[in-house]
Structure 1
Amino acid sequence: MKRIILVTVMLLVSLLGWSQDLDWGDYPEGEFSYTFTNIGNIPVDATVTVTGMVGSFYTDYPRPSVRGLELNNNFLTNGNSVSLKVTFSQPVSNLNFNLLDIDRIDGDSQYQDLVTVVGANLGTPVTPAIGSASTNTVTGNAILGTNSVEDYAANSISFSTPVTEVTIQYFAGPDWDDPKRQFIYITNFNWADAVLPVHLVDFAGRSVDQQVRLGWQTTYEANSDYFTIERSPDARAFEAIGRVASKGFSESLQTYGFSDAAPLKGTNYYRLRQVDRDGTYAYSKIVAVGYDAQGVYFEVVVLEGARLQVETNAPEPVFNLVDVRGLPSLRQVERAGANKYILQVSPTGLATGGLKIVQMRSGNFSYVRKVLVN
């Protein structure tokens, strides 16, 4: 009966005109990578990438169904997992979807679902709001199956600020004694039709002549108003330090700049608040720039493919990378230019994920930056 009710509700939603911007019905069965092109009323591309223990999938999974995309796995032991990442070609606002059937089964099969959900907007972490369900408990961004009293119990997932990527990681939970076939569903994605103020393609900073100079570029602007430059000493509490008027309407490359004439000693964290004329806004990624009296700069940017880009004018720098427990996470260092270096994260460093600490030593001076690696 509960399954019939769920299908009926989905039909009513369709009749009421609540459009789905990402419809899993078009996803090809058994594929681990696929791009949806020009979807939504304000067209965007959405690239889906599935990684982790993909060998645990049953044949032709992930598979679309009337309830959404089904992840159907036979994990070998607790802690095994697969990750599904959706990357948007430009930020989307008010993204929401449901996760179904995150539960724990008692009886002849002792398996347990554990799911985590994280988001980001141009590299800056975004935390979703997660609704509760009778079959599981929610702690932070994690959903742990606790019972199985309801078919297709739903956990709602919503992001109140724009996102450019969402990662759903599906684990064999800690109470996993008898490995058997288990599954969850990801429903269709919805997001707002509103156009974001700008499409930001670059934002960087550098310490020069006792100042920090910031620069950024846009490739698209629709009714944009201005940029507020915000600074923080800890990447948590930000304050506005300046404002730059934007072009307003543009489909070509636009370049902007701002100088912080009184940077803080040590690490300065900067972000842009991109504001539209109707009050719509979005935040850029966070850029970290080091400042000292000698004008040494030490900038770290997270790249794709388990890499970090470091720019510094420090002479003969030596790098190290550790996690918050002090365990080494650096695989190798490549020189990519006169003042540019690429740090490869080790496989063990990727396994722990999360916050990393980039350490640099030059002569008698030491520098430290914290970055978030997904």
Structure 2
Amino acid sequence: MIKGLTVCVLSLAATYCVAQEAAGLPPQSVSLQALPTVQRVPDSAAVITDLVHVIRENSKVVLNWQLTDSTATDFFTIERSSNSRDYEVVAVIKIAKPSRWFEWIDESPAKGKNIYRIKCASKNNAINYSNVIQAQIAGDITFKFYPNPVDNVLIIRSETALDIQIIDATGKSRLSQTNVSGLHTINVSTLEKGVYVIRVLNRLSNTVVQDRLLKN
């Protein structure tokens, strides 16, 4: 004659052992042991920070940026736009070795407005974009200035009306001319030797460009 029956039920959450002494009697004991909870730690995501740019004298745009974790992604996608809406891929950069700072040079930027952003796809499939920056390349307002470096007289040639400022290293406007068009000269003999910025506003398109001016 069987005095008792033991039934063990195993699940993912716990183990139950039920002891039954005889038919129709309540179980004498129930043992419950919870399994430890396992939490999945998400893969790290690569985040781009501090995207900045420099325009070199040859009108090439140099982009520099930081990455929080270069081991979390394999490549960058450089995107460029002229209207902040429609972006085109201009470069795909593979990460050769872990680093914090990265650089890319746009050898052929468009004349006028160049808007850049960097797309980064992490290994955990997260997509991140950098901040958006804008670089203005001279040429869209059809003007030229020379000589550069300049001694006493700066020559301006323009097909449209321009407002011109010459700004020193402190940001102060030292010379200015308004509504300049055609062939025009500016006397810069009062400027000290050094590096200046020439800022040009196209009155027709309301476009502003800047370039470096050297004074002998």
Higher relative contact order (CA 8 A, sep 6+): 2
The structure carrying a bigger helix percent of its residues is 1
Indicate the TM-score class for this superposition, using the shorter chain for normalisation.
Answer: 0.3 to 0.5
